[in-house]
Structure formats: structure tokens, C-alpha cells
Structure 1
Amino acid sequence: MESVIKSFDWDLIMRLREGDESAFRVVFDQYSQRIYGLAYQFFKNKEQSKEVVQETLLRLWEHRLQLNGEYPLAPWLFTIARRVTLNMLRQTATSEAARKKLWLTMHPEHNETEEAILNADLERLTTQILNKLPLQQQMVFRLSRFEGLTYEEIAARMQISVHTVKYHLTGALKTLRSCFDKTEVLLPVLLLSMFY
């Protein structure tokens, strides 16, 4: 299943990069309602939510050459949608009173299905990046972040110095940040910040 999803995203992204308008239509059909739903949670306004969809897809088209076929499309697209939404919120809330009113009308509702899909995409993206790291960096990262071991415990288990553990962990985090920056995914940055 994962390879089918990856293959689909890769084909779609390659077609987008080549300026294939039918690929853009596929993206529109697949994601416009989900982007609209995301925006509507904030604005509770159909016109503003439609505007977020249009602006998000316009930015996708304008920046399609930045897409990377190795990474899933959804996190990149929803990052753009969230940025567009936040920018519009800032423009809408021109006064402190307007800001307060806006935040009071917002509900903490969220689409669990969408969140599950995004989390799965982000987990797959993280795994892909981790698997490309040198073996010792992978091991140190997994022991630290997934098993919660201290530097000293990792050093004892791997029979290396604490300094070497810190070196490998720093290298792994730097690589992860760099890859997430290239894909313009914001959520994993929050994920990484939890590790400190």
C-alpha cells in the first residue's frame, strides 16, 4: 500500500513539475474539499474558505518546480494552506478587539481522518529520512527519541563515548531539519522541538 501511495505521489508530482494541467486537476479534486474544511474551521465563512483553497492551489502551481517526488504531497500542500490561512487571519484581525472576537469564535474541532492521514504521511516521511542516515546515527536517534534512553545509557549500550552519542544525535537532527525545510513541512519541526 505504501509503495502504491508513494508511486502515485511521485507520478503526480512529476506531472505537476512538467506543467501538466490534468495533474493539477487531480490535485484539485483530491484536496480542495479538505483544504476548504481546514479553512472553514477557522473562518466559519464560505467565501474566505474558498479563497484559501484558491490561493493554496495557486501557490502549488507557481512553486511546482520545488516539489520533490521522494516526499508525499499532502504535508507540503497542507503546510501551504495553513500559512495562507494564518496570513488571512492576520489581515482580518486588524485590531485587538477583532482578534479577540475571532479567537472566541474558533472551535478546537478537527478532522480526525485528516489528522490521521497527515500523521501517517509525516511518519512515513520521517522514516524515509531516518533510513538514509548512517547506521550509527539511526541507532542513536532511535534509542534516544523512540526508546527514551539518556546519552549515558546509549553510550553504554552501543559501547561508544557520550561525546560520540551527542555528535551522532546532532548530525541526525540536522539532517532531519534540512530535509523538512526542503519539503516546507512545518509540523515535523514541532515534532523535533519535542525532542529537546
Structure 2
Amino acid sequence: MHEDIGSDDMQRLIMGDQAAFEKIYDLCSEKLFRLAFRFLKDVEQSEEIVQETFINLWVNREKLDSEGNVWLYLYVIGKRLSLNELRNITQSKIHTENLLANFRETVNTTEESVFANEFELLTKKVIGDLPKQQQIIFRLSRFEGFSHREIADQLNISPNTVKNHMGTALKTIKSRLSDCGLLCLFFFFFK
């Protein structure tokens, strides 16, 4: 256990004490950030990992052992989330490259090539503008082919939450691309 976090702090956390949670956050967040940054080499993504890890801690606090090592728990969750994010980034890039390679094989003219590049940039931007959780769920579903149940298990959320995020993400994407007249292409590639 972190030397400044005692079993009484853990017990208070388990009981839902916000001050105990904030103390643990203050003592461990910087160390957790450094762990995430070691994997991701990105400040914003590392900060998001810290936030997701502490959300996980709060949501699962009642399952914790008051005598347990809270830093070990945070370390394991933070490392798992960092590695998942790293894998998601890699898989997303591979899938996008494969999709674009297949799309480019069918392109015959300069005009079509320009259109394909514009579609690629716009689609990346629209997906990139989604809230982080929606981006992750959309990519896991559409790029990696995970079911709602698999995504829910991986992210420690309910399948209903996954379904709601996917519905919201698709509505946002549909709205943004329909404004540009590219909606039919989106559904052709991401149905």
C-alpha cells in the first residue's frame, strides 16, 4: 500500500467518502500519469487514462479490500487501459490503412482520388470530434468488429451503455456527413 494511504483511508473510500477518494487521487495521480505516458507518449491520452482509472476505482470501490494495496490496483487498471489504448490506436491505423488501400484500388481518375482523400479526412475528423468514450466504442465496433457485449466487458460498462454510445455516435456522424452529401458512402464503408 502507498505509505500515506492507510486502511482507514481505504475503508472510507469503500464507504463512498469523497475526501478519501481525493486524497488517494492527490497521492497517486501523478505516478499513474507517468505510467500511462511511458506507454502512450501523449499527454492528453495519458491524462484520460488517469481519469478512466480513477473512475474505475470509484465505481468499483465497494469491491475493494480495505487492507489491499490501492496503488497496485491503480497500477494494474492504468496499465491495462494504457495497453488497450495502444492496441486501439494500432488497430485503428491498420484498419484505416487497409480500408483506404481497398478503396484506392477502385479509384481510376484524379478526381476520384481527390474525392477519396477528402472523404478520408472528413471521416477521420468527424470520428475524431466524437467524445472519447464514443470514439473508443465506435472504433471497437466498426473497425475491430467487437460485439456490444465484448465492448462492454472490455470497458467495464453495461451493453446498454455501449448501445447508447453507438446510437449517439452514429446519429452525430450521420448528421455531419449528410450535411456534406457523403452519408451513403459512410454507410457503404461502415455498415
TM-score by length of 2: 0.46
Larger RCO (CA under 8 A, 6+ residues apart):
1
TM-score by length of 1: 0.44
